[in-house]
Amino acid sequence: MKIKQITQNKKQFLELLLLADEQESMIDRYLERGEMYVLEEDGVKAVCVVTDEGDGLFEIKNLATDPLHQRKGYGRKMIQEMFSHYQHKGHTMLVGTGDSPLTIPFYESCGFVISHQIENFFLENYDQPIFENGKQLMHMVILKKYLKYPPLFPIICIMV
Ligand SMILES: CC(C)(COP(=O)(O)OP(=O)(O)OC[C@H]1O[C@@H](n2cnc3c(N)ncnc32)[C@H](O)[C@@H]1OP(=O)(O)O)[C@@H](O)C(=O)NCCC(=O)NCCS
């Protein structure tokens, strides 16, 4: 298994990218400025796009595993690799997703915690209603994971 960065012709993986973000014009907002990775094991099994949001913040904008190979650990492996790669570049990884029982448990199992939500994101930014698991997505849930331990506070020893 290996994870490699893709710097050219990123749209060759559009089919996978559309699994995570079903409107191509939304993918176009981050694809070129984002860093793209594919996980290969007898062919491409998963894709991920990470953007630099400044001030040490990075964001997973897209993550998808080939539907024939989901629940085999590829998604988690990709996330773990992103954590170890970006901990040298920044302090926090964010990811935004719909309020869905298919994705939030996955990200939580990878160590993310829910931070906040962006109200009506899917209603205001997508041309068509998006349904997941039979439920229309409205708000974007933002999860975060600290890539580094918080700075140590000075320890004051009071000797009596
Ligand atoms: C979300 C997604 C990337 C997960 O990838 P994956 O390769 O299937 O995930 P993994 O096999 O690494 O799963 C790791 C753990 O996450 C949790 N998990 C994964 N999918 C889950 C699901 N559908 N429901 C509940 N928990 C889930 C489980 O704890 C799982 O461990 P387990 O299989 O030992 O129980 C994949 O389902 C996918 O591509 N979905 C479509 C695109 C998408 O929605 N992307 C996210 C957009 S924000």
Q: Can you tell me the mean pLDDT for 26-40?
A: 98
Residue 155 lies in a domain: no
CA 160 to centroid of ligand 1, rounded, Å: 54
Which residue has the CA at smallest separation from atom 48 of ligand 1? 97
- The domain that holds 92 is classified in CATH as 3.40.630.30
Ligand 1 atom closest to the CA of 97, numbered from 1: 48
- How confident is the model over 44-80, as pLDDT tens digits? 999 999 999 999 999 999 999 999 999 999 999 999 9
Residue 151 lies in a domain: no
CB neighbour burial string for 50-70, b if at least 16 within 10 angstroms, e if fewer: bbeeeeebbbbbbbbbbeebb
Residue 58 lies in a domain: yes
CA nearest neighbour of 145 among 34, 38, 33, 57? 57
Which residue has the CA at smallest separation from atom 19 of ligand 1? 106
Domain residue limits at 34: 2-146
Q: 19 CB under 6 A from ligand 1?
A: yes
Q: Report if pTM > 0.85.
A: yes
Q: How many alpha carbons fall within 13 Å on the CB side of residue 137?
A: 28
Q: 109 CB under 6 A from ligand 1?
A: yes
Residue 154 lies in a domain: no
Terminal CA-to-CA distance of the chain, rounded, Å? 58
Write the CA distances from 14 to 19, 108, 127, integer angstroms.
9, 26, 18
Ligand 1 atom closest to the CA of 21, numbered from 1: 47
- Annotate 1-12 with DSSP letters as a single string: -EEEEE-S-GGG
Q: 122 CB under 6 A from ligand 1?
A: no
Q: What percent of the chain shows pLDDT beyond 90?
A: 88
Q: Can you tell me the mean pLDDT for 95-108?
A: 94
State the Cα–Cα distance between residues 45 and 68, nearest whole angstrom: 9
Residue 159 lies in a domain: no
Pocket residue to mutate for ligand 1, from 70, 97, 142, most atoms within 8 A of Cβ = 70
Q: How many domains does the chain have?
A: 1
- ∠146-13-9 over CA atoms, to 5°? 100
